[in-house]
């Protein structure tokens, strides 16, 4: 950690701060933990009063100076609810601080350990963007890329995957990548840096029996995103705009290939969608990725894509996407947290306006292909 802090000038400052926040709570998880130490430590880290109530009735509340506070919270600036009951919160006068959301998320994660839920993961590390860009470059020679890999704490021998993270205009993708990967169940070595407008994440080995796992982190990323969205209490707004593309496993010296795949997969990811749609895996997409070779103008001009884009309601597209992906009305309804009759009504509107019969496998395939093409066509607006 000390070595990391000495190099902050070379890092995305927000991502580096995110690493420090996560490392702070990981250190608490590694030591003797109790409600008092967690709450007092969080208050000192955040620089404002913090409180905790666990499902078993244990509670604590401390000020930033470490003094215990009596009574209930005075001015809650942010909170995360715990299941089946309980909560953690911060009390900051005025608007929440820029890292309050991250602090609350990790305070909640640590509180779950206190409540008896295990937590296993490694802290992702913010990396020097220049080294990451060198690893992802196709112009530098192998010796320079090998040296960059070793300086990042990676090996040029084991397989490596690259993940691309994008967000909305007000999103710091470096911090979001660190946050998302930090709360996932990844057992791999993870390095994060901002490359242009994207967060670039290098993931290598450690999850398999031989320490050289090539398994995709897509499932862990979706689970982390689902947990994160589920944590958000009524005081906090849901996350919007975060989407992730996962590249295939490659030789580390050919990491640019996985980076290219990750950015292609990212074009299929849906901003603000369900975790299944917000994380797109190049390996899962298979031959569908060939659509990225078609010019955006041709995609937009295709009749099905044009009619799908003219649908009046985003809710119709969401319902159609969930049904095409699951092939089940009830599964789609469960994923969207809607009654199946509501989803059925929306699909009926889609069928009426586009002339499809979605129970027909051929029409459902046609709809899924049009959805993919629409995402690519829409993504072209941001390029």
pLDDT computed for residue 182 by the predictor: 67
Q: Name which of 361, 363, 362, 332 is nearest 350 in CA terms.
A: 363
**DSSP helix/strand/coil, 323:** helix
Domain spans in the chain, listed from the N-terminal domain onward:
32-114, 125-289, 294-382
pTM above threshold 0.75: no
Tokens of 294: 């078609």
Nearest to 92 by CA among 108, 103, 81: 103
Tokens in use for 60?
């604590």
Nearest CA to 177 out of 28, 29, 12 is that of 12
294-382: CATH number: 1.10.10.2840
Supply φ then ψ for residue 239, to 5 degrees.
Answer: -75, 140
Does position 207 have pLDDT exceeding 50, yes or no? no
* C-beta separation of 268 from 285 below 8 A: yes
Q: HSE (CB half, 13 Å, CA atoms) of 43?
A: 24
Tokens representing 261 are 């795949």
Predicted local confidence at residue 209, as pLDDT? 41
CA torsion 13→15→2→184, rounded to 10°? 180
| Residue pair 196/262 in contact by the 8 Å Cβ criterion | no
For the ranges 49-53, 169-173, 206-210, 315-319, which has the lowest average pLDDT?
A: 206-210
Task: Specify whether the backbone of 239 is left (phi greater than 0), alpha (psi in -120 to 50) or beta.
Answer: beta
Residue whose pair of structure tokens reads 């791999």 in the numeric block: 188
Least trusted range by pLDDT, from 17-21, 104-108, 366-370: 17-21
Q: How far apart are CA 248 and CA 255, in angstroms?
A: 9
Peptide bond connecting 321 to the previous residue in cis, omega within 30 degrees of 0: no
Per-residue tokens: 45? 């880290």
Q: Is the dihedral of CA 36, 38, 41, 42 positive or negative?
A: negative
Residue 364 exposure: Cα atoms within 13 Å on the Cβ side: 15
Say if residue 323's pLDDT is above 70.
yes
CA triplet 241, 43, 95: central angle to 5 degrees?
Answer: 45
Q: How far apart, in whole angstroms, are the C-alpha atoms of residue 210 and residue 327?
A: 37
Is the C-alpha dihedral spanning 196, 157, 283, 177 positive or negative? negative
Handedness of CA 181, 186, 192, 198 (dihedral sign): negative
Classify residue 234 by its DSSP letter.
Answer: T
Task: Please check whether residue 264 is in contact with residue 218, taking contact to mean a CB–CB distance below 8 angstroms.
Answer: no
Is 4:125 a contact under the CB 8 Å cutoff?
Answer: yes
Average per-residue pLDDT for the chain: 82
Structurally, at CATH architecture level, domain 125-289 sits in 2-Layer Sandwich (3.30)
Helices (H), the chain: 2-5, 13-30, 35-46, 100-114, 129-136, 142-151, 173-182, 218-231, 255-266, 275-278, 282-285, 296-301, 303-309, 314-326, 329-336, 340-354, 361-379
Q: What are phi and psi of 160, to 5 degrees?
A: -140, 145
Residues 271-298: tens digit of each pLDDT: 877 888 889 999 999 999 999 999 999 9
194: pLDDT strictly greater than 90: no
Beta strands in 315-383 (DSSP E): none
- Mapped onto helix, strand or coil, the DSSP state of residue 242 is coil
- Residue 142 contacts by C-beta under 8 Å, 6 or more apart in sequence? 253
Token output for 105: 């998320």
Taking a C-beta distance cutoff of 8 angstroms, is the pair 262, 245 a contact? yes
- Tell me if the bond preceding 84 is cis, omega within 30° of 0: yes
How much is the pLDDT for 185? 60
Model confidence pLDDT, tens digit, residues 6-34? 343 344 567 777 778 887 887 777 666 78
How far apart are alpha carbons 114 and 55 in whole angstroms?
10
pLDDT tens-digit readout, 242-261:
889 999 999 999 999 999 99
Per-residue tokens: 117: 């839920």
109-157 pLDDT tens trace: 888 887 775 555 556 777 888 899 999 998 888 999 999 999 888 999 8
């Amino acid at each position: 950690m000390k070595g990391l802090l000495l190099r902050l000038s070379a890092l995305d400052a927000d991502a580096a701060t995110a690493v420090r926040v996560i490392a702070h709570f990981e250190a608490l998880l590694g030591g003797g933990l109790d409600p008092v130490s967690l709450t007092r430590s969080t208050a000192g880290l955040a620089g404002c009063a913090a409180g905790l109530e666990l499902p078993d009735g244990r509670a604590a509340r401390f000020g930033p100076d470490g003094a215990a506070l009596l009574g209930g919270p005075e001015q809650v600036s942010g909170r995360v609810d715990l299941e089946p009951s309980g909560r953690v919160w911060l009390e900051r006068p005025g608007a929440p601080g820029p890292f309050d959301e991250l602090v609350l998320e990790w305070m909640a994660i640590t509180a779950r350990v206190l409540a008896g839920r295990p937590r296993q993961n490694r802290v992702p590390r913010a990396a020097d963007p220049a080294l990451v860009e060198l690893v992802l470059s196709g112009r530098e020679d192998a010796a320079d890329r090998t040296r960059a890999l070793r300086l990042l704490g990676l090996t040029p021998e084991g397989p490596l995957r690259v993940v691309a993270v994008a967000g909305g205009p007000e999103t710091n993708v470096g911090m979001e990548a660190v946050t998302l990967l930090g709360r996932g169940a990844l057992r791999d070595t993870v390095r994060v840096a901002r490359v242009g407008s994207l967060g670039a994440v290098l993931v290598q080995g450690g999850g398999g029996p031989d320490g050289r796992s090539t398994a995709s982190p897509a499932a862990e990323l979706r689970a982390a995103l689902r947990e994160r969205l589920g944590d958000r209490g009524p005081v906090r707004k849901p996350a919007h705009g975060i989407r992730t593309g996962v590249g295939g496993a490659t030789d580390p010296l050919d990491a640019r290939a996985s980076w290219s795949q990750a950015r292609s997969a990212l074009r299929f990811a849906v901003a603000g969608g369900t975790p299944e749609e917000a994380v797109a895996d190049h390996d899962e997409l298979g031959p569908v990725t060939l659509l990225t070779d078609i010019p955006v103008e041709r995609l937009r001009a295709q009749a099905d894509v044009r009619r799908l884009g003219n649908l009046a309601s985003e809710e119709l597209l969401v319902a159609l996407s969930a049904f095409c992906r699951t092939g089940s009305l009830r599964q789609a309804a469960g994923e969207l947290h809607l009654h199946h009759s509501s989803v059925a009504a929306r699909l009926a509107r889609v069928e009426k306006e586009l002339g499809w019969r979605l129970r027909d496998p051929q029409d459902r395939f046609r709809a899924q292909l049009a959805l993919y093409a629409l995402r690519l066509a829409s993504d072209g607006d941001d390029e």
